[in-house]
Amino acid sequence: MIKKCLGCGVRLQDEKKDEIGYVVSLEKDFCERCFRIQHYNEYKFVSKSNDEFINILKNVNKTGDLVLLLIDIFDFPTNLDIINKYLSNEVILVITKYDLLKPYLREEKLLDYIQNLNIRSVETLIISSAKNYNLDLLMEKIKQYQKSNNVYVIGNTNAGKSTLINKIIYNYTDFQSKITTSMLPSTTLANIKVKINDKLTLIDTPGLLEEKSLIEYVDSKKIKKVIPKTTIKPKTYQIKIPQTIVIEDLAEIYFKDQNNITVYISNELRINRIYNEKRNSQQQKHVLSVPARHDIVIKGLGFIKIINEATVEIYTKDGVEVYIRKSLI
């Protein structure tokens, strides 16, 4: 009988220590990698490609089953092209981690914002697994729209898929087992079936790798600082003379003209303001003409709300995408 890791879903094996799924004994329920993540917070990166994710989408598409599409509110909107291309199933759009921005963003405003993006879904829900926010409503909607016992949970790496399933396990079952979760990317390596009750099985899928995200270009220690864990404490600055906002060694934002800005990033990251100086940065340069009341989004890092129209220079690590969106908050 093939036995799979309860944490990441890969097939367990006891022959090749350096390969995924390794266990000292096949009697174990968790592979060595998941065990060390859970008990020692030690992370071992496993290379995955979006080709594998596309194959998963194609297989899910064949089932016709309901899909929960999870999107991290702090990485919103994300790249949905790949999902729209390969998936025709009915979708409940689930915006996760609402607790990160809840004090500054009314749920009704966020729902209006999402509606204007014309994302294909039968329902849109805003949740927080950490705070149990709207989870009862989510379970009601799953029951309303599910086509069979199986419901697939899909989204980017770190969108909160495994965290949501673990919270559902805790709230709605008597089971003790949990899926492995981590702030680090690609924790789930293969589909994991979790039976919630006789009428519902949630299937956790490996996450889509977010291309051009800062997360791709920093080490695991820095990732733990970059990904927010608690409600964001935004920092507001009045720009009166040319100055640069420096976010550690991750990004620099140069303003030449007067403005009011608010920075939304992880509370663990340090921000410095340098006056009368344009940094001679060796990082990749982005020059953006930003309309009034828009956000500058540095993919994987956070966003800066701009009040007045401005031309802004942003310096990031090579390969990181920077774009403009209508202000979320």
| C-alpha–C-alpha distance, residues 206 and 320, integer Å | 22
| C-alpha–C-alpha distance, residues 328 and 302, integer Å | 12
- What is the number of domains present in the chain? 3
| C-alpha–C-alpha distance, residues 69 and 310, integer Å | 35
Residues 9 and 89 in one domain: no
| C-alpha–C-alpha distance, residues 297 and 13, integer Å | 42
Residues 65 and 142 in one domain: yes
Residues 37 and 57 in one domain: no
Residues 180 and 317 in one domain: no
| CATH number of domain containing 175 | 3.40.50.300
The helix (H) or strand (E) run that includes residue 247 is strand 243-247
Residues 13 and 148 in one domain: no
Residues 175 and 288 in one domain: no
The series of mean pLDDT values per 10 residues for the chain, 329 residues long, is 73 79 79 74 56 86 96 81 88 97 96 88 96 98 98 90 91 72 52 90 85 83 90 96 93 94 98 77 88 96 97 93 95
pTM of the model: 0.83
pLDDT per residue as tens digits for the range 258-295: 999 999 999 999 999 988 666 656 689 999 999 999 99
Of 195, 211, 227, the position where a domain reaches its end is 211
Q: Domain range holding 269?
A: 235-326
- Evaluate whether 315 touches 279 at the Cβ level (below 8 Å): yes
| C-alpha–C-alpha distance, residues 18 and 178, integer Å | 24
What are the residues facing 302 on neighbouring strands? 265, 298
Q: Is residue 224 part of a domain?
A: no
Residues with Cβ within 8 Å of 180's Cβ and at least 6 positions away in sequence, in order, are 5, 7, 8, 30, 34, 37, 38, 162, 187, 188
Residues 161 and 54 in one domain: yes
Residues 11 and 119 in one domain: no
